[in-house]
Every structure is written in C-alpha cells, then in structure tokens.
Structure 1
Amino acid sequence: MSIELNDIQTMKVEELASCSGKELALLLNDVEKAMSQLETQKLWLESVVAYKYVYRASQLRSQLQQDFGTVSFDDEGTRVLVDQPREVSWDQQKLKAIAQRIQEQGEDPSEFLDVEYSVSQEKFDQWPQQLRRSFEPALKIKPGHCTYRLVGGDV
C-alpha cells in the first residue's frame, strides 16, 4: 500500500494502523522532512520581516524613548507590531553573597529572594547510597512525554 502524506488526514485510524511498520516509518520520515522544510521557510520569512522593519521600528523606539515593549506602525494597511521583550537575569554568585550578608544581619533572605533548590540527576546517581537516601524524600519523579520511533528497513 502506497499512501501519500496528503491522504493521511482523510484516513481512519484503523486504516493507518493496518499499514506495515515500514510504511508508517516512511510516512513519519516524510512528515519530519516536511516539518523541517516548513520550519526553515518560516525562519527565513521571519528574518525577511525583521530585515524589512528593523530600521523603522528602531527609529520609532528612539522617538518614543522606549527600549522595550511593543511598538506599532502601519505599512500600507497592515499593522506591524514589534515586541522587544526585556530579559532579566541575575548573577547567581552575587545573589548568594547578598543572601549571606542579609542572613548575617539577622534578616531572612527568603523575604527578599526567591530560592529554588535543585540537584543534578547525574551527580545524584554518582553519590554514595547513604547520601542518596537522605535526599530521596525530596525526590519527585513523574513520567515525561512518551515518544515512539520506528527504525529499520529502508527508512
């Protein structure tokens, strides 16, 4: 049975499930190729749009004295929205030092800082059993997204 990629949406699940593993693998391979091509085309068009409007948006930002957020303008009846998000990051070592100073002054650092603890799974797996046991009550494991791959044949 030779199935075209465009036909699969009109087929019943039972029909598709009756295909051989090789046929399903070939279809999945075709989908992956098509998605890759579409993603490349999307990225290309997004870069063209950025190229077309970057100068105009930067001029508008300069006029408005607005480095971040959304600015908008019209281009022959099309509204162009240009969002420049602000990405904030904090130097973890400096924050740790600040937290220590706050604690030394008798204050609670958690009133000023959000602290998230984590353990590297790779390191945890290498620890001695006794150390691992002390951390295990804090360990939560949940299933991730299950994936299926079809390998072999002429795919």
Structure 2
Amino acid sequence: MSNRTTLTDLRGMDAGQASRLPPAHLALLLEDAAALRADAKHVSDLLADALHRRYGRVAAERRQAEGKDTGRVRFLDAGFEISADLPKRVEWDQERLAAAIATLRSWGEDPADYVATEIKVPESRFTAWPPKLQALFQPARTVGTGRPSYSLEQAEC
C-alpha cells in the first residue's frame, strides 16, 4: 500500500483539499495528468485515423456527388448514421489583401463594407517603442491574463 495520492483520489477532492497535498504528490499528479493527456491524444488520433480510413472515400464520393469540396455529408453504415465533416480552412495573403483594399479605396468604395480589418500590435514591439509612441497607443491597449500554470520539479540539494 502506498501513501501516494492517485488521480482517482484527486477526483474525490475539491481544489482546497488538493492544494494542501505535499509538493511531491502534486508533482507526481502533474506527471500522471500529462501521461493521461498524451494517452488520450494518442487514442483520439488513432480513432480519427481509423474513421478516416473507413469512411474517407465514401465521404469524398458523397461530397463530389453533392457538388462540394468541403462540408458535412451524412450516410448510413450498419444502422449508424455517419456524419463526415471536412471543414474549410481559408487563409488570406495579407499583402494582397492590403493591395485589394487600396484598390477598393481608389474606386471610391469603403473597404469596411466588404472586409473586417483587425489591427494587431505584437507586445514585443509595443514594449520596445519609445514612451511617446507607447503613450499614443496606450488608450487602445487592454492587458488581461491567461490561465496560470505551474510546474514542480524536485530541487537538487
């Protein structure tokens, strides 16, 4: 029998109880959770590949019959309705978009009627700007935070 806290034990705790566990237990639980995520990803990828091998050809034929390259098609297999989705992924060349927008303006059109424009400022550039430039952009800047993360490693004594 072990004093080690398992993921099963952890599932029965709330965050307050878990926060009181010894760092050694937390470190082992983090390792266990990482292994579980890796295993789940492997299994999920394996299933996705298996489903594509089994239904990819049929789905492609259905899409072709429906006159579409992407999107969702449905068909039956052994009493199951299979829904096969091939999402469309569109990427836009930023330089060519800028040129197209300039052409719209030269035609007297308002580009906002046709395209959504999002201006981004990389944080590394903002922090490198001189204070006068930072002050100009500061009112448009909101700083938030992401989810905190922690790692635990045995200290070398």
| Normalised-by-shorter TM-score class | 0.7 to 0.9
Per-residue deviation at 1:15?
4.7
Question: Are the equivalent residues in 2 in contact too, given 1:22–1:153 (CA < 8 A)?
Answer: no
| CA distance in 2 between partners of 1:88 and 1:36 (Å) | 29
Query: CA 1:134–1:5 in structure 2 vs 1: closer, same or farther (change >3 Å)?
Result: same
* Letter matched to residue 38 of structure 1: A
Moved more, 105-114 or 127-136: 105-114
| CA distance in 1 between partners of 2:153 and 2:29 (Å) | 12
Question: Are the equivalent residues in 2 in contact too, given 1:25–1:150 (CA < 8 A)?
Answer: yes
Q: Deviations over 1:15-57 (max 9, x none)?
A: 5343211111111211111111111111111111111111111
Higher relative contact order (CA 8 A, sep 6+): 1
Query: Is there any run of 5+ residues in structure 2 with no aligned partner, and where?
Result: none
| CA distance in 1 between partners of 2:108 and 2:33 (Å) | 60
Q: How much identity, in percent, do the aligned residues show?
A: 28
Per-residue deviation at 1:9?
1.6
| CA distance in 2 between partners of 1:12 and 1:105 (Å) | 62
Q: Deviations over 1:49-99 (max 9, x none)?
A: 111111111122222222222111111111111011222232221221122
Aligned residues: 154
Q: Deviations over 1:87-127 (max 9, x none)?
A: 22322212211222222333322222211111111111112
Moved more, 79-88 or 13-22: 13-22
* Letter matched to residue 46 of structure 1: A
- Residue 147 of structure 1 is matched in structure 2 by 149
- Residue 118 of structure 2 is matched in structure 1 by 116
> Could you say what secondary structure the match of 1:71 adopts?
strand
Query: CA 1:132–1:54 in structure 2 vs 1: closer, same or farther (change >3 Å)?
Result: same
* Letter matched to residue 28 of structure 2: L
